[in-house]
Amino acid sequence: MTIGEAARASGVSAKMIRYYEETGLIRKAERSSSGYRHYTEADIHTLRFIRRARDLGFPVEQIAELLALWQDRSRASAQVKALAMDHVAGLWKKIAELQAMARTLTALAEQCGGDGRPECPIIDDLAAIDEDGRPDPDGIGILPHHGPRLFGTP
């Protein structure tokens, strides 16, 4: 099986297969006399394993650990579970961050007319203007900067 066939069969691009080999995630493939890599069904299975783990968001470094556990017949399922839950914790952390962003922006957008007028709570928030249109508490102020800017709410 050439690298292209392996890519099609595993869902991992040929580019990535070479990359995984280079970084040591997978073993170096056998080469034909002309230098072509070739792969066995077992290799495809491994690549699918990697593909699936990537789809679940595991970083390559953790995939290496998962592959090691996969092959380790004497592994404790607790090891795998710990690895997975560790990753899940990271996912929830990131989810919480993104949700906080989305909620903040959604709340601001709900306050925004979304019409032809320039007044916009979203921009005001980014510029740290409070509701009265005065500068933020740090007193940095809204000085004309690269040209005229909006001030207070009309």
Helix (H, G, I), strand (E, B) or coil at 147: strand
Contact 37, 3 (CB under 8 A): yes
Strand blocks (E) in the chain: 30-31, 37-38
The whole-angstrom separation of Cα 139 and Cα 121 is 19
Q: Choose the contact partner of 37 out of a second copy, DNA, none; CB within 5 to 8 A by kind.
A: DNA
CB nearer DNA, residue 84 or residue 142: 84
| Contact code string over 5-44 relative to a second copy, x by CB under 8 A | ----x-----------x-xxxxxx-----------xxxxx
How many C-beta neighbours within 10 Å does residue 67 have?
16
Q: Does 142 bind a second copy (CB under 8 A)?
A: yes
What's the angle, vertex CA 73, arms to CA 21 and CA 53, rounded to 5?
Answer: 45
Among positions 73-102, residues that touch a second copy (CB under 8 A) are: 73-78, 80-82, 84-85, 87-88, 91-92, 94-95, 98-99, 101-102
Q: Choose the contact partner of 54 out of a second copy, DNA, none; CB within 5 to 8 A by kind.
A: DNA
Segment contacting a second copy by CB under 8 A, of 11-19, 31-39, 144-152: 144-152
